[in-house]
Amino acid sequence: MESKLFSPYRIKDVTLKNRIVMSPMCMYSSDTQDGKAAPFHFTHYESRAAGQVGLVMTEATAVVPEGRISYEDLGIWSDEHILGLKQINEGIHRHGAASAIQLAHAGRKADLKDPIYGPSPLPFNEQLQTPNEMSMKDIQHVITAFKDAARRAEESGFDIIELHGAHGYLINEFLSPLTNKRSDDYGGSTENRYRFLKEVITAVKEVWNGPLFVRISGNEYHEEGNTMNDFLYFAREMKKQGIDLIDVSSGGVVPASINPFPGYQISYAEEIKRRTGIPTGAVGLITHGIQAEEIVQNERADLVFIGRSLLRNPYWPMQAAEELGFALEGPRQYARAWK
Ligand SMILES: Cc1cc2nc3c(=O)[nH]c(=O)nc-3n(C[C@H](O)[C@H](O)[C@H](O)COP(=O)(O)O)c2cc1C
C-alpha cells in the first residue's frame, strides 16, 4: 500500500525519511552528574535509528545546570558536552535517520538541591522547592544560555532543534497564567506571557538556521489556564517568527488528573494546524501503525511522535510497517527476520 507515514518529509534542508519521530524522553542516565552523555545514551539513540525512526530526538537537555530536572539529566551548557553529543549524532546518522535535540530548562520543576528559578515564586507542589522569581538579569542569562546551546547543538551535528515549551517547565511557566504572576513586561497579557519564548526564539535564530520546533502543552487541564485561543495566539506568533513545527503535548503545568486515551492529545495538534496553518506534530498514546497512518493521511498532524512504544520496542517502525503492509527496509543485517 501507499503509506504516507513512510513517505519523506522535508523541512528546510532536512529530509526525514518518514514521519515517525522518537519523542523526547528523559533517561536520567548522565551518571557523572555533569550533563555528559554516557554509554547508555549512545546505544539508546542509535538503536531507535536502526529501528528506522525518521527523526530521533534526544531527551530534554539542559541549557544551564540549574535548569536540570535531576542531576542525571543530559546537559549542553558547556562546550565540554559537544563531544558526547557528537557521538550520539554519529550513531543516529549511521542509519539514515535525522537527529534533533530538545533544549530545556526545568524552571520550578527542577528537583535539585541548588536554588531553582521560575517566573514567579510559586512551588509546583510540596516536594519541590519554591523557585526564585527571575530578575531581568536572570531572564537575559537564560535567553543567552538557549542561544549558546543552539550554537553547541549545531557544532554537535544536530539537524533539528526543539525548544521545550511544554509540561510546566520554564518556558511553559512563562506562557501560563497559572504559573506566571509577574507584573512586568513578561507577565499579565497573553502577549506579555509569550515574550520570554519570543526572545528565546529570536536569540536561537541568531545562531541557528536549521529547522526549529517548539513543544507546547495544548491543554493545561485547569479552568484558569491557557485556553485554545491563547494557544492559537502563541502558534500564530511562532509562525511569524519562522518556527517550522509545533509539537503538541499537554499537561504538567499544575498538578491535575488527566484521563489519557488513545490519541488523547491529537485534537490539539489538529486544531492548531487547521486554524493557523503551521505544521504540527501529534503525540500521546499513539501505539499502532494504523493509528499513525490515519493521523498523517487525514492531515491532523504532519509528524507523529512516539514515546513509550519506542521504549518497549526500538523496532516499532518495522512493526508499524508490517501492520500497514508496507515493505520497509530495515538494517541489512536483519533482513532475514522480516522476509
Ligand atoms: C520516560 C519518559 C521521559 C519523558 N521525558 C520527556 C522529555 O524529556 N521531554 C518531553 O517533552 N517529554 C518527555 N516525556 C513525554 C514523551 O515525550 C511523550 O510526550 C509522552 O510519553 C506521551 O507519548 P507516548 O504515549 O507515545 O509515550 C517523557 C515520557 C516518558 C515516558
Confidence of residue 3 (pLDDT cuts 50, 70, 90): very high
Please determine, for residue 191, whether its predicted confidence score (pLDDT) is greater than 80: yes
Distance 85 CA to ligand 1 centre (A): 20
Locate the ligand 1 atom nearest the alpha carbon of residue 286 and give its number: 26
Q: Whose CA is nearest to atom 28 of ligand 1?
A: 25
Please determine, for residue 337, whether its predicted confidence score (pLDDT) is greater than 90: no
Confidence of residue 63 (pLDDT cuts 50, 70, 90): very high
In this prediction, residue 62 carries a pLDDT of 98
Locate the ligand 1 atom nearest the alpha carbon of residue 310 and give its number: 26
**267: exposed, middle or buried (Cβ count in 10 Å: 0-12, 13-18, 19+):** middle
Q: Are strands 14-16 and 9-11 parallel, antiparallel or unpaired?
A: antiparallel
From the CB of 102, is ligand 1 less than 6 Å away?
yes
Distance 333 CA to ligand 1 centre (A): 30
Report the residue among 20, 21, 22, 25 best suited for mutation to probe ligand 1: largest number of ligand atoms under 8 A from its CB.
Answer: 25
Segment 221-231 mean pLDDT: 98
From the CB of 317, is ligand 1 less than 6 Å away?
no
Confidence of residue 248 (pLDDT cuts 50, 70, 90): very high
Locate the ligand 1 atom nearest the alpha carbon of residue 60 and give its number: 8
From the CB of 309, is ligand 1 less than 6 Å away?
yes
What's the pTM value of the predicted model, to 2 decimals? Answer: 0.98
Residue 13 grid coordinates: 534542508
Q: Whose CA is nearest to atom 18 of ligand 1?
A: 307
Distance 86 CA to ligand 1 centre (A): 23
Residue with cell 528546510: 12
With residue 89 as reference, give the H or E element that holds it. Answer: helix 82-93
Distance 74 CA to ligand 1 centre (A): 15
Please determine, for residue 117, whether its predicted confidence score (pLDDT) is greater than 80: yes
3-state SS, one letter per residue, for 268-298 = HHHHHHHHHCCCEEEECCCCCHHHHHHHHHC
In this prediction, residue 338 carries a pLDDT of 75
CB 212 within 8 A of CB 243: yes
Distance 23 CA to ligand 1 centre (A): 6
Rounded CA gap, 235 and 275, in Å?
9
Confidence of residue 299 (pLDDT cuts 50, 70, 90): very high
Please determine, for residue 1, whether its predicted confidence score (pLDDT) is greater than 80: no
Average pLDDT, the chain: 97
Rounded CA gap, 143 and 137, in Å?
10
Distance 24 CA to ligand 1 centre (A): 6
What lies within 8 Å, CB to CB, of 221 at 6+ separation is: 250, 251, 253, 254, 256, 257, 258
From the CB of 254, is ligand 1 less than 6 Å away?
no
Q: How far does CA 252 lie from the centroid of its chain?
A: 14
From the CB of 164, is ligand 1 less than 6 Å away?
yes
pLDDT tens per residue across span 278-288: 999 999 999 99
In this prediction, residue 290 carries a pLDDT of 98
Distance 305 CA to ligand 1 centre (A): 9
